Each structure stands twice: as C-alpha cells, then as structure tokens.
Structure 1
Amino acid sequence: MKESAPPADFVTRGRLAKETGTNIETVRYYEKTGLMPPPRRSESGYRLYGEDARRRLRFILRGRELGFSIAELRSLLSLVDGGDYTCGEVQEMTVAHLDSVRSKIDDLRRLEHTLAEMSAQCEGGAVPQCPVIDVLFGKAASGRSQSE
C-alpha cells in the first residue's frame, strides 16, 4: 500500500533538523522539554512539521546560541505564545540574561588571571616538582616543600 505524501509545506523531523542545521536528537529533546509542541502525524506515523515549527526551532536554536537557558527560552516563548507581551517585558528578560553573561565573563577573567599566575610559577622542563601541582593540592606555591 503506497503512502500519501505529506503536505507540501510540511517536513519530517530529519528534514527539519537538516534545514535548521541541527540534529534529530536536538529536535526530539526540545519536544520532550515542551519548547516544541507535539507535531502532527502522517498516516504512517511520521512526525510532520510546518512553517510555525521551523520558525520556533530557529528561535530556540538562536536563543541557545545567545546563551539563554531552557527556562529562559520557555519564558520568552510563553510570552510569544500568549501574544500579549510588551517590548519592555522582553527587554527585562534580556537585561537579566546580559547581567548573568557579564557576571560569567568577570568570573572567567578572574580564572584567567589565576591560571596565568599559576603558569608563571612553573619553571617547566624536567624539574621534578611543580608549583602548579602544589597549588592544586592546596599547598603554598611560594615554598616548594617545608621539608626541603
């Protein structure tokens, strides 16, 4: 028995993944988390996605590229799905995310500074003891060993 082709504007999960530059598992995950609504099904049970699903998946993928969490995206999509949102509400969420990103950047700068200091204390080469290892074990880096 020959199957009927999906409507022209609908694609399978694999095609949706390919069109959006992601993979099938990612689409499945976003369905499981509720970010993507359940798709319609073909007569043979294939999941079919229309233009709304394509747009939504692109929104999610771009949001993830910008570092938004699943919870943040869920909140943004909830505003969009409700249709009654203001630019101020979206800006508030975006500013909160930006503050979080800036905080992470500050943390990374401190981490970079610490690692640079540790690396500078290491003589390299064939020296048997390394101050970096001492620091990681919680010993003071200035003195190699109190027993030497």
Structure 2
Amino acid sequence: MALTISELGRSAGVGVETVRFYQRRGLLTDPRPSRTGGAAGRRHYGEDDLRRLRFIRSAQRAGFSLDEIARLIELDRDNDRVTAQAMARERIAELDARIAELEASRDALTRLAKDCAGGGKGPCPILAAFDGLRA
C-alpha cells in the first residue's frame, strides 16, 4: 500500500496540514526521498504510517498531550511496558477525576432544571445560579 499524504490524512480523518504538523513534531516520519538522501519527490505512506496516525488521534482523544504521545511512541520502541502502563494509569486517574467532576455538574444542573420547571415567581434558578458564578 502506497498512500499520498492526502490519502493518508483522509484515511485517518485528518487534514494534510495535521499530518505535516505531526511530522514536524517528530510523531510521524517524513518519507520524501529527499529527506532520506534520495531525489525530491512525493511522500508515500504505508500501513505503519496509517496505524501510527490513528494511534496519535486515539491517544489525543484519551487526553494525552502530544509530548506524552511522543513519549508513548518512544516507550513502545524501547518495549518499556512498565512506564507505558504507569502513564496509562495516571491518565485513567485524571479521566476518573474529570468524570466525577462532570457527574457532579450534571447532578447540580439536573436539580436546577427541576427547580426551574417547578414554576414560581422570580428568575429561573438556573439563570440565577450561573449569574452568581460570574461574581
């Protein structure tokens, strides 16, 4: 399989500039022959490049920064599963904390929505609650 940069990006759901950005960051290789000592030419990507690009996107969705993703790639190259596992566990703890925060926000908003639906006089409790947050 030989993909152009646009085909690679399209296959992973990203734009060409995103692929180039990841190359500049060292997350993806630049396969142009001129980069490897050959004549200038078009980039041609393979299955490994597509797999790496999909990994980067998935790791970003999981909340890893680009620096952390670079570290994970390095750990994979070094077969350092212990450190990779520690990074994953740390990210899981961060996600759990964020989920708890979101659940608390949802519960508070649910209570406010019920109070607002109850009618009554004066401003809606939702608007009053958010207005109080601005202070």
In proportion to residue count, which structure has more helix?
2
Alignment of 1:77 with 2:73, yes or no, is yes
TM-score of the pair, normalised by structure 2 = 0.76
- Measured on the aligned residues, the alpha-carbon RMSD in Å equals 2.8
Give 2:132's aligned residue. Answer: 138
Identity score, percent: 34
Moved more, 21-30 or 71-80: 21-30
Amino acid at match of 2:3: V
Q: Structure 1 CA distance, aligned partners of 2:9 and 2:64? A: 20
Report how far residue 135 of structure 1 moved: 1.5
Structure 1: gaps (5+ residues): 1-8, 140-148
Q: Structure 2 CA distance, aligned partners of 1:132 and 1:66? A: 31
Give 1:14's aligned residue. Answer: 6
Q: For the Cα contact (< 8 Å) 2:32–2:40, is it kept in 1?
A: no
In our comparison, the structure showing a higher alpha carbon Rg is 1
The structure showing larger relative contact order (alpha-carbon pairs under 8 Å, at least 6 residues apart) is 2
Q: For the Cα contact (< 8 Å) 1:41–1:48, is it kept in 2?
A: no
Q: How do 1:112-131 residues align onto structure 2 when only pairs under 5 Å count?
A: 112-123=106-117, 129-131=123-125
Q: Structure 2 CA distance, aligned partners of 1:34 and 1:15? A: 20
Q: Count how many residue pairs are aligned between Structure 1 and Structure 2.
A: 129
Q: How do 1:1-148 residues align onto structure 2 when only pairs under 5 Å count?
A: 9-41=1-33, 45-80=41-76, 83-123=77-117, 129-138=123-132
The 1:51–1:123 alpha-carbon spacing in structure 2 relative to 1, beyond 3 Å, is: closer
Report how far residue 44 of structure 1 moved: 6.2
Runs of 4 or more consecutive aligned structure 1 residues displaced over 6 Å after TM superposition: none
Q: Structure 2 CA distance, aligned partners of 1:137 and 1:128? A: 14
Moved more, 83-92 or 40-49: 40-49
Q: For the Cα contact (< 8 Å) 2:115–2:125, is it kept in 1?
A: yes
Report how far residue 85 of structure 1 moved: 3.0
The 1:132–1:45 alpha-carbon spacing in structure 2 relative to 1, beyond 3 Å, is: same
Q: For the Cα contact (< 8 Å) 1:40–1:49, is it kept in 2?
A: no
Give 1:5's aligned residue. Answer: none
Report how far residue 57 of structure 1 moved: 1.2
